[in-house]
Structure 1
Amino acid sequence: MATWVDGPLLGFDTETTGVNPFRDRIVSAALVGRGAHGTEQRTWLIDPGVDIPEQAAAIHGISTSHAHQHGMAPRRALAEISAELTAAFRLRVPVVAFNAAFDLTIIERELERHGLLTIGERLGRPLAPVLDPLVLDRGLDSHRPGARKLVDLCGYYGVRESGRLHTADVDVEATLDVLAAQTREHPGLVERSLGDLHHWQTDQHQRWAETVNRRRQREGLDGLDAGTEWPLHTVEEPCPPTRADSVPA
């Protein structure tokens, strides 16, 4: 019997100028659709209109000059990306993103910046359903030691990356493969509805964030609170939520 894991699924990832989803800009993005009819992929290279810091360029390999010379105007690219995401959400096709709250927050803020309707405004409801392999992993095995970057989850779940991670299309493929591996290791995931999984992830992320914040408070660390909202941050924290690996992905 076919289940949601058989598709369609829409993977989403961005590469950015930094780790602040409220203030930084999208430099590249990828959408990868998977389903019964195979895989379809779209990618965008964007001229963000600001300098790309050397630290970010060293991660994803896109320099300011390259983006300026070859990138699309952000308004056009954002309109195309958001149209695809909005269509998926309207059809209740799950959007799959690693650390989804970063990517969904940054595209919504970018749409606002360029005077375009956000995805939430077009839908008239919260962005759902979303599947986030990072949040799923934390909820499924919260006590497992070690880092949980995308590369770490690839190693843990036996996923071989198809290319260099921190490239949007490669990251999306890896994220979809990790999700598939998670359903094989935890078949109970497939038995749950997408709506149930979405709400469960919301609870799991909030629980994780509150635990992290209590630990940081005990250790006397200031300005490092983890955002408790998922899959979209609506209010910028004093120290804004960042990617799971603390670098542009």
Structure 2
Amino acid sequence: MISWHELPRAAFDLETTGRDPLEARIVTASIILVDGAGQPLQQHEWLVDPGIEIPLEASAIHGVTTEQARFGGQRSVDAVAEISSVLGGFFAAGVPVIAFNASYDFTVLKSECDRHGLPGCPARPVIDPFVLDKQVDRYRRGKRTLTALSFLYGVRLDAAHTSAADALAAIGVADALAAKYSELRMDPKELHDAQIGWCARQAAGLQQWLRRTNPDASVDGRWPLIEAGEPVPVIAAGR
């Protein structure tokens, strides 16, 4: 049986104005479709004017300043609609979308859609290398950022924290995980559903560990997006 990492698959990544996915605005976005061999078939890129000042802390990470976004960026409402449309087309066709720490990116996109009164798109099937790695190698010490996992699995990442480079690296890490661990080679929709439970259990375990020193520590295990109205977890730590 051919696995999802040997079939066409897409990757999605955002760079934003901040760490809170319910408040952050999109600054850049990339969606890349690759063929079964991992060669790019389509690449969609957006530079977005978020409509607010981009904090210096965020600009230092992704390299886009407020002035650059205002001068060369697309209107946020138009970009968000296009991003949702492209992703929606892939999901409707059953193409899995790989997103590293998907709860962040899909929550930002959902929040932006809500902010602009846009319908958004159902996010399924999503494949999250951040969740997969913690599931199959749960006791490994060290960081689990995209940079760290790219190094661990021998994936090239030349320009970390640019959305295109991060999207391609996410595909590489996901492919390496599927090649190494046969239990991940399931139908993408079944894998999506499995990750919901895996992420919840991973969050519960982390919360239990954190509460050894902080009784009030709370980690949200919802995946692949977090709805407004609940405390926001520190999910950006995995990026």
TM-score, normalised via structure 2 length: 0.94
Alpha-carbon distance between aligned partners in 2 of 1:244 and 1:139, rounded to the nearest angstrom: 17
Note the alpha carbon deviations across 1:111-151, whole angstroms, 9 max, x for none: 1101111213xxxxxx2111000000000011000110000
The question of 1:229 aligning with 2:229 is answered no
The question of 1:144 aligning with 2:140 is answered yes
Contact 2:9–2:36 under 8 Å retained in 1: no
* Structure 1 position 36, deviation (Å): 4.4
Aligned-residue CA RMSD in angstroms? Answer: 1.6
SS, match of residue 218 in structure 1: coil
* Structure 1 position 31, deviation (Å): 0.2
Contact 1:9–1:95 under 8 Å retained in 2: yes
SS, match of residue 197 in structure 1: helix
Question: How has the CA–CA distance of structure 1 residues 205 and 36 changed in structure 2, closer, same or farther, with 3 Å as cutoff?
Answer: closer
SS, match of residue 202 in structure 1: helix
Alpha-carbon distance between aligned partners in 2 of 1:237 and 1:133, rounded to the nearest angstrom: 25
Note the alpha carbon deviations across 1:35-77, whole angstroms, 9 max, x for none: 1494121110000000000000000000011111110001111
SS, match of residue 31 in structure 2: strand
More displaced stretch, 46-55 vs 29-38? 29-38
Question: How has the CA–CA distance of structure 1 residues 138 and 175 changed in structure 2, closer, same or farther, with 3 Å as cutoff?
Answer: same
| Paired position in structure 2 for 1:78 | 80
The question of 1:186 aligning with 2:176 is answered no
Contact 2:81–2:120 under 8 Å retained in 1: no
Equivalent position to 1:105, from 94, 104, 107: 107
Equivalent position to 2:200, from 198, 202, 206: 206
Q: Which runs of 5+ in 2 are unaligned?
A: none
Once the two structures are aligned, what percentage of the paired residues are identical? Answer: 38
Amino acid at match of 1:169: A
Contact 2:96–2:127 under 8 Å retained in 1: yes
Runs of 4+ in 1 over 6 A off after TM superposition: none
Note the alpha carbon deviations across 1:68-95, whole angstroms, 9 max, x for none: 1110001111111100111111111111
Alpha-carbon distance between aligned partners in 2 of 1:89 and 1:239, rounded to the nearest angstrom: 26
| Paired position in structure 2 for 1:6 | 6
Count of matched residue pairs: 237
Amino acid at match of 2:83: I
* Structure 1 position 196, deviation (Å): 2.1
Alpha-carbon distance between aligned partners in 2 of 1:62 and 1:154, rounded to the nearest angstrom: 23
SS, match of residue 20 in structure 2: coil
Show the 5 A alignment for 1:117-128: 117-120=119-122, 127-128=123-124
* Structure 1 position 3, deviation (Å): 3.0
Contact 1:21–1:241 under 8 Å retained in 2: no
| Paired position in structure 2 for 1:52 | 54
| Paired position in structure 2 for 1:129 | 125
Note the alpha carbon deviations across 1:149-208, whole angstroms, 9 max, x for none: 0000011111121x2100000000100011111122113322x22222112211110011
* Structure 1 position 244, deviation (Å): 3.1
Amino acid at match of 1:11: A
| Paired position in structure 2 for 1:124 | none
Alpha-carbon distance between aligned partners in 2 of 1:199 and 1:117, rounded to the nearest angstrom: 23
Amino acid at match of 2:33: G
| Paired position in structure 2 for 1:19 | 19
More displaced stretch, 233-242 vs 58-67? 233-242
Note the alpha carbon deviations across 1:5-35, whole angstroms, 9 max, x for none: 1222110000000011111101000000011
Alpha-carbon distance between aligned partners in 1 of 2:14 and 2:227, rounded to the nearest angstrom: 18
Question: How has the CA–CA distance of structure 1 residues 67 and 221 changed in structure 2, closer, same or farther, with 3 Å as cutoff?
Answer: farther
* Structure 1 position 221, deviation (Å): 5.4
